[in-house]
Amino acid sequence: MSTAKQIIEQGKAILGIEFGSTRIKAVLIDGENKPIAQGSHAWENQLVDGLWTYSIDAIWNGLQDCYADLRKDVQKQYGVEIENLAAIGISAMMHGYMAFNDKNEILVPFRTWRNTNTGKAAAELSKLFNYNIPLRWSISHLYQCILDGDKHVSDIKFQTTLAGYIHWQLTGEKVLGVGDASGMIPVDPQTKTYNAKMVEKFDQLIAPKKLGWKLLDIFPRVLVAGENAGSLTAEGAKRLDPSGHLKAGIPFCPPEGDAGTGMAATNAVKQRTGNVSAGTSSFSMIVLEKDLSKPYEAIDMVTTPDGSLVAMVHCNNCTSDLNAWVNLFKESLELMGQKVDMDELYGRLYNNALTGDADCGGLLAYNYISGEPVTGLAEGRPMFVRSANDKFNLANFMRVHLYGSIGVLKIGNDILLKEEKIKIDRITGHGGLFRTKGVGQRVLAAALNSPISVMETAGEGGAWGIALLASFVVNNDKKQNLADWLDQKVFAGNTGTEIAPTPADVEGFNRYIEAYKAGLAIEKAAVEAKK
């Protein structure tokens, strides 16, 4: 067995980089797919002219700082420099809008998935396609620009996602992994590329505008997991590593979205498996055996990195409001002269929540920092609500904020589990909500009335997931499909630690969610009252 140092020196390590909403993370893995080094860079989106964006400079400064942080970690641990790699993968937040002209210049600032200005376009396209087209999807952004008469639209030569953009700049290849592509416009699981009928309908819809392009002229080519997606160019090497140590020629896997990397990182690409990512935002991904009986506004249909159909419930909000309350308790303790360890504080508060009433004693919490399309809110107001007769204590207060962080997720998944009768063998949780052992798991198990597994590796996140997809390109000696390769080569039968729901918790969460849905009128009134 080679040591990590030798693997890096021999150029056999594999790099995965993921652009999350608040952090860019790089993970270096060895030939056994285990993490051996990492780097990160914190960043935040900006609200510019009413739209959420990250500047081009922020993207490249963030990437370079993240990679430099990885180099620093490698030098500190192993005393060597990264000069060559076996493969690289790039992942990022899905959806959004990045459009470029014939000079490869971005035409308008990058519009992220968070933007909700695309309501008219999404509604018209959903009707045209007879398929739910969410507000954040790339096709919604493009069509909204057309409806708004934006002059730049006729100048578009290429439109892609954030992952597709970075990959293009590093390799020169205008391609996209099928999972990320399925968040631009629906993908056909049979052909593993954009749905031909929907592409044709869109082209017919915009033909009178005489824009000078058709959709396939400007969208990236679609690739599935395992396909070679180009290699690092000399210019790309300099952009990634301005120090000049990294060499060109390294192969890349198809760039993927954060949903696809979450599926890879939790071994949830096989049919009848699923995963829940719960952090700043949350989403669940259930890999289907067949299509749903009809479209649902709360359910997005995307694919795994190898093209299987996935039902996705996406929630804009998850732990941000919960974290804000924990920080308030931290301030209170510091005011009393206490030194606070945040891991201990989270642990004590979360575990205390489990001693509360199963229905939170009647308390309600809405974690809506921003709007929630699943519950029909274009804007959000974080809100805690109680009546005089509710059981107001610390345990119930923390429990209701844990429940509130996944309330919208519960509403969306009830459609799949209760109306569509979807069968699921295993759901794996990952993300910040599960950091305190057992608590987030138990709450989610109650919400979905399903056993929830958490793996030790799940904390590695999407950067590890895209590193695995890069490894799949160069280390799939037996030519296995992705699900079998992950099962046997990466996870080797490890399904993590499972927590099953208790009848009392399930009944309590169901009582809570009925009150939650009734109380949405209060949230809507708060949005209207505070414009």
What pLDDT sits at residue 460?
Answer: 63
Task: Please choose, from the candidates 70, 66, 102, the residue with its C-alpha nearest in 3D space to the C-alpha of residue 85.
Answer: 70
Residue 8 has pLDDT above 80, yes or no: yes
Our measurement of the distance from residue 149's CA atom to the centroid of its chain's CA atoms, rounded to an integer in Å, reads 31
pTM of the model: 0.87
Taking the CA atoms of residue 146, residue 151, residue 152 and residue 154 in that order, the dihedral angle to the nearest 10 degrees is 70
Q: Which helix (H) or strand (E) holds 29?
A: strand 23-29
51's tokens:
């739209």
Tell me how far apart the alpha carbons of residues 5 and 38 are, in angstroms, rounded to a whole number.
14
What pLDDT sits at residue 495?
Answer: 73
Radius of gyration, CA atoms only, the chain: 23
What pLDDT sits at residue 109?
Answer: 97
Three-state SS sequence of 161-209: CHHHHHHHHHHCCCEEEHHHHCCCCCEECCCCEECHHHHHHHHHHHHHH
> What's the average model confidence in pLDDT over 462-481?
95
The DSSP bridge partners found for residue 274 are 286, 427
Residue 61 has pLDDT above 80, yes or no: yes
Model confidence pLDDT, tens digit, residues 364-391: 999 999 889 889 898 999 999 999 999 9
Residue 229 has pLDDT above 90, yes or no: yes
Contacts 24+ apart (CB under 8 A), 118-126: 118/143, 118/144, 119/378, 120/144, 120/147, 121/146, 121/147, 125/202, 126/295, 126/297
| The residue type at 374 | V
The mean pLDDT of the chain is 95
In this predicted model, which residue has the larger pLDDT, 203 or 266?
203
Contact present, 91 and 17 (Cβ < 8 Å): yes
Tell me how far apart the alpha carbons of residues 503 and 515 are, in angstroms, rounded to a whole number.
19
Tell me how far apart the alpha carbons of residues 469 and 471 are, in angstroms, rounded to a whole number.
5
What pLDDT sits at residue 279?
Answer: 84
Residue 16 has pLDDT above 70, yes or no: yes
Which domains occur in the chain, in start order? 95-160+185-218 (3.30.420.40), 268-454+501-531 (3.30.420.40)
SS3 416: helix
